Structure 1
Amino acid sequence: MRVVSLVPSLTEAVARSAPGALVGATDWCTHPADLDVARVGGTKNPRPDRVLALAPDLVIANEEENREPDLAALREAGVEVLVTEVRDVPQAFRELARVLEACGARTRPCWLDEAESAWQALPQPSYRTTAVVPIWRRPWMVLGRDTFAGDVLARLGVDHVYATHPERYPRIPIDELNAAAPDVVVLPDEPYRFTADDGPEAFPKLPCALVSGRHLTWYGPSLSEAPRVLTKALRAAHR
């Protein structure tokens, strides 16, 4: 089986669970750190010629991270494309199992069972907080309705303000974000790399939590660590 992954979190999952299957991945596929495969461009702008040159049996993609015209071009060239859809944590586990089976994993990996157990064992939050969750600036964009990251936070007791917005990633002026007065502003380090010097200054009167984007938005081996890592970051914002 020769697999090209166009999704960073799926790249990590396949590399760990079906060794040798991956022959190509995007420039943004940073895990595992020692991944040694051909690079085929970005998630939003993959190079079809590079993908086809690898003669893959399967390309794995995601309906949110990858563009349909790129996937259609690969299909037209005769490549099988498996497209995942992940809007909540349970769906992530189902899709991961489907992808790993398609990529030739011989058994269900232990990390997947451990991650599922970690989320199933998660206690009910003793209290709930509200949040604004920017994912980009210039212009400011935030989590809206029906997102995987939103479901992750909700299971940790964090309700984001724009969860019922008609758009999944609405553009909201910074003045409106501050006026929403959430309990915390959650600033992930991807897709936009918010840092202590780039992000919190826009919310001078609100506590800000800098969190790992890999643990907030990736569905893969990092899922087992996500509850602990994210909870620690969120608590630190309220000290």
Structure 2
Amino acid sequence: MRVVSLVPSLTEAIAVTLPGGLAGATDWCERPAGLDVVRIGGTKNPDTARIAALAPDLVIANEEENRAPDLDALRAAGLAVLVTEVRTVPQALAELERVLRACGAASRPGWLDAAEAAWAAPPRPRRPLTAVVPVWRRPWMVLGRDTFAGDVLARLGVRHLYAAHAERYPRVPLDELNAADPDLVVLPDEPYRFTADDGPEAFPRPACALVSGRHLTWYGPSLAEAPQVLAGALAAALR
């Protein structure tokens, strides 16, 4: 089966499970390292004509990551498109199994079993924590309602303070973020690449946890190690 993936985390999942199964992937699909496939543009601006020319049996997409007009164009070209929806960890595990079976996997991969086991009893702090979670600056944007990353943090005992916001990724002024007085500010390295020199200086009072965006926002093989990696980063910030 020939597959094109428009979602970096799903690209990794497919490539690890079904070596050689991918015909194409986006420019942002950086894992696994050394992936040698045709590049078809970005997640938000894929080259639909180039994808059609690859004649894949299936295109893998995500309702948040990819734009509906691009997916409609692929369907109009006669291609089968599987669209995933991932807002929680259990949903991620179920969608990963669905995607891999659709791509021809004969059995459930071991890494998916390990991920399910890891999230069955993830590490939690001694007391519940609150956080704000910026995902962009200039302007500042944070996690809002109904996000996969928000669910990941909630399962690790961290409630982000904009979880009930009307928007999924609201723009919030910096002074309001600081006034919210969270226990933690969680700064992932994607989509905005927060670093020790770019982000923490904006938050003088709460502890800042620099975390791996792949472990916070990706749903793929990284799910197996995400609970321990993220819990370690959060604990280190509070020491």
TM-score (norm 2): 0.98
- How many Å apart are 1:51 and its aligned residue? 0.9
**Secondary structure in 1 matching 2:238:** coil
Q: What corresponds to 2:175 in structure 1?
A: 175
* In the alignment, structure 1 residue 46 sits paired with structure 2 residue 46: yes
Distance 1:157 1:190 in 2: 22
Segments of 5+ residues of structure 1 without an aligned counterpart are none
Distance 1:214 1:29 in 2: 12
Worse-matched range after superposition: 58-67 or 117-126:
117-126
Distance 1:75 1:204 in 2: 50
**Secondary structure in 1 matching 2:175:** helix
Q: What corresponds to 2:224 in structure 1?
A: 224
Q: What corresponds to 1:127 in structure 2?
A: 127
- How many Å apart are 1:123 and its aligned residue? 5.2
- Given residue 66 of structure 2, which amino acid in structure 1 is its aligned partner? N
Distance 1:122 1:146 in 2: 20
- How many Å apart are 1:54 and its aligned residue? 1.1
Q: What corresponds to 1:4 in structure 2?
A: 4
Distance 1:145 1:165 in 2: 6
- How many Å apart are 1:122 and its aligned residue? 2.4
* In the alignment, structure 1 residue 23 sits paired with structure 2 residue 23: yes
Q: 1:47-62 alignment to 2 at 5 Å?
A: 47-62=47-62
> Structure 1's 187 and 124: CA in aligned 2 closer, same or farther, altered over 3 A?
closer
Distance 2:123 2:9 in 1: 26
* In the alignment, structure 1 residue 65 sits paired with structure 2 residue 65: yes
Q: What corresponds to 1:101 in structure 2?
A: 101
- How many Å apart are 1:206 and its aligned residue? 2.0
Distance 1:205 1:125 in 2: 20
TM-score (norm 1): 0.98
Distance 1:36 1:114 in 2: 26
Distance 2:193 2:123 in 1: 30
- Given residue 19 of structure 2, which amino acid in structure 1 is its aligned partner? P
- How many Å apart are 1:124 and its aligned residue? 5.7
- How many Å apart are 1:136 and its aligned residue? 0.7
Distance 2:54 2:170 in 1: 37
Q: What corresponds to 1:149 in structure 2?
A: 149
- How many Å apart are 1:238 and its aligned residue? 1.1
1:178-200 deviation digits (Å, cap 9, x = unpaired): 11010000000001111111111
- How many Å apart are 1:104 and its aligned residue? 0.5
- How many Å apart are 1:125 and its aligned residue? 4.6
Distance 1:201 1:64 in 2: 31
**Secondary structure in 2 matching 1:177:** helix
CA RMSD of superposed structures (Å): 0.9
Worse-matched range after superposition: 34-43 or 123-132:
123-132
Segments of 5+ residues of structure 2 without an aligned counterpart are none
Distance 2:44 2:123 in 1: 37
